[in-house]
Amino acid sequence: MPSLSEENYLKTIYSLAQADTGKISLTAIAEALGNNPVSVIDMLRKLSGKKLISYDKKKGAKLSEKGTKAAVDIVRKHRLWESFLSEKLGYGWEAVHDIAEQLEHVHDSELADRLDKFLGYPEFDPHGDPIPKANGKVAPTSKTLLFDIHPDKNCRVAAVKDTSGEFLQYLKKLSINIGTKLKVIEKISFGESLVIQIEKGKKTTISKKFSQSILVD
Amino acid sequence: MPSLSEENYLKTIYSLAQADTGKISLTAIAEALGNNPVSVIDMLRKLSGKKLISYDKKKGAKLSEKGTKAAVDIVRKHRLWESFLSEKLGYGWEAVHDIAEQLEHVHDSELADRLDKFLGYPEFDPHGDPIPKANGKVAPTSKTLLFDIHPDKNCRVAAVKDTSGEFLQYLKKLSINIGTKLKVIEKISFGESLVIQIEKGKKTTISKKFSQSILVD
DNA sequence: TTATTTTATTAGGTAAGCCTAATTTTTATT
DNA sequence: AATAAAAATTAGGCTTACCTAATAAAATAA
């Protein structure tokens, strides 16, 4: 049984793979987890040893079949718990993530399936992400340009189309990462800019060009 | 915020205090947790440093006000989750304990209260134990040990003092649940065992130890 | 009271999962 | 190709929460 840390690494590698931004490098994982790359290399070796991933300096990290299974399982639990927190306990969508991050690590062979049944087999979590089925099937996520999102909708950064330092620097400055949740507040026709809210915090105005370089789902 | 381990120590000290078997010694705690007494002394010093307990070789361990609060909070979460698992997810009462042991450590300032509300403010968990209220009040248990019941008296299983899988498995085998009606047929002085009748059915001989792990009213 | 057993404690060690500092390797720029 | 920058890696350390082995202190039995 993977440890809590191992599960978090698997989950992170899984979402980086989903985001499809090419090679999953040490630094990408380190950044996503807020860890030091040194810690990451240790863990990748451990996960390799357990045949949950393959890792190669050149090719980066990649989940094995076994690792994918484990990761999807965690994602399933995460999204089911998010649904529970939102639908049954009345939490707002911005609150559910952190609690589900804890709940997803609870181990029991029947828990996810019972919860799924109790919730009426929901298709999507409160953020609109598909909930993996018990058999491991995940509905494909269609990615959209941030620019095309309608106001008041919540979304999650899935990928970026620009890899220039300038662009990434700006993302960093705004604390936007893969997985960061955004809400489109307003679309300003004049000047074609967008007002967005980043995670739970600050509202920021971004340009059309910028919003067309970010893919969300 | 106490760590997972710290929380487990607080909870253990709390239940040893409830059980009221005198001094809460190092070895008693070690036994309850399945740890080495050496590990226990380390942790007790740590908890003392945090003013969650007092510890003295002679007097044993004792929760401070702050520690009691923390312990009751964990017990509240544990019993609420047990109720959820039993009532909403349909788990059997022997299965809920282990899962609740994991769920009780999920941290969120509102979670317990929201869960409580969702469950309709239940008074007792599936094992018949009172669920502490949000203000920290715990209903007193006016229950008697099955062992102390006089022959020929009828009683009803109200709670169990042992939540080990082994014990609960045995209860299951005897078809004893919360609410099951028992009649004490005979108390055998030699060997200190008890002959009881379960519901209207079979007569069974049980050990002193077993009869001291069942609370009836 | 002395011997024995139980309980508490010290000393030192381990694994997991992090870290900083320094170094090597790879990639990008001039 | 030479140089600079970025990424990967090694070496060594830290904290938490455990452990064993050895010793001291206290309680119990002879």
Instruction: Give tens-digit pLDDT for B154-175.
Output: 777 777 777 777 787 788 788 7
8 A C-beta contact, residue A53 and residue A44: yes
Residues of A in contact with B102 (CB under 8 A): 105-108
Choice between A214 and B84, residue whose per-residue pLDDT is larger: B84
Q: What is the pLDDT along chain A (217 residues), one digit of tens a residue?
A: 899 999 999 999 999 998 777 899 999 999 999 999 999 999 999 999 999 999 999 999 999 999 999 999 999 999 999 999 999 999 987 789 999 999 999 999 999 999 999 999 999 888 778 999 999 999 987 778 898 888 888 888 876 666 555 676 787 778 887 678 888 988 887 768 889 998 877 788 998 888 888 888 7
- Measure the CA–CA gap between A24 and B14, rounded to whole angstroms: 47
Give the minimum alpha-carbon distance from A3 to chain B in angstroms, rounded to a whole number.
13
pLDDT at A111: 98
What's the CA–C1' distance between A28 and D7, in Å? 10
Taking the model in full, what pTM does it have? 0.80
Note the CA–C1' distance, B3 to D20, in angstroms: 25
Cα–Cα distance for residue pair A46/A67, rounded to 1 Å: 12
Tokens of B133: 């209220």
Residues from chain A that touch B105, judged by Cβ atoms under 8 A, are 102
The tens digit of pLDDT for each residue in B99-143 reads 999 999 999 999 999 999 999 999 999 887 899 999 999 998 767
CA distance B56 to B63: 12
Band (B9; pLDDT cuts 50, 70, 90)? very high
Average pLDDT of chain B to the nearest whole number: 90
pLDDT higher for A193 or B153?
Answer: A193
What's the CA gap between A73 and B25, in Å, rounded?
Answer: 42
B89 three-class SS: coil
- Say yes or no for a CB contact (<8 Å) between A99 and B89: no
Assess whether A44 (CB) lies less than 7 A from strand C: no
DSSP string over A136-199: S--PPPPPEEGGGSPTT-EEEEEEES---HHHHHHHHHTT--TT-EEEEEEEETTTTEEEEEET
Mean pLDDT across B13-35: 91
CA-to-CA dists, residue A30 to A64, A103, A215, B76, B164, angstroms:
20, 23, 21, 37, 41
A216 φ/ψ angles, rounded to the nearest 5 degrees:
-125, 165
Q: Do A99 and B106 touch (CB under 8 A)?
A: yes
pLDDT of residue B191: 62
Give the model's confidence band at B188: pLDDT under 50 very low, under 70 low, under 90 confident, else very high.
confident
The closest alpha carbon to B115, from B155, B78, B166, belongs to B78
d(CA B115, nearest CA chain A) in Å = 7
Whether A108 and A80 have beta carbons less than 8 Å apart is answered as no
Tokens of A36: 């030091």
The stretches of chain A forming alpha helices (DSSP H) are 4-19, 26-33, 37-49, 65-87, 93-103, 111-118, 165-173, 208-211
Residue A136, φ and ψ in degrees, nearest 5 = 95, -5
Closest CA to B83 of B124, B26, B139: B124
Which bases of chain C are contacted by protein, using any atom under 7 A from a CB? 6-12, 16-21, 26-27
Nearest to B108 among A90, A99, A118 (CB): A99
CB A216 within 8 A of CB A129: no
Query: Which of A88, A97, A113 would best serve as a mutation to test chain B binding (most B beta carbons within 10 A)?
Result: A88
In this structure, the number of other CB atoms found within 10 A of the CB of residue A212 comes to 16
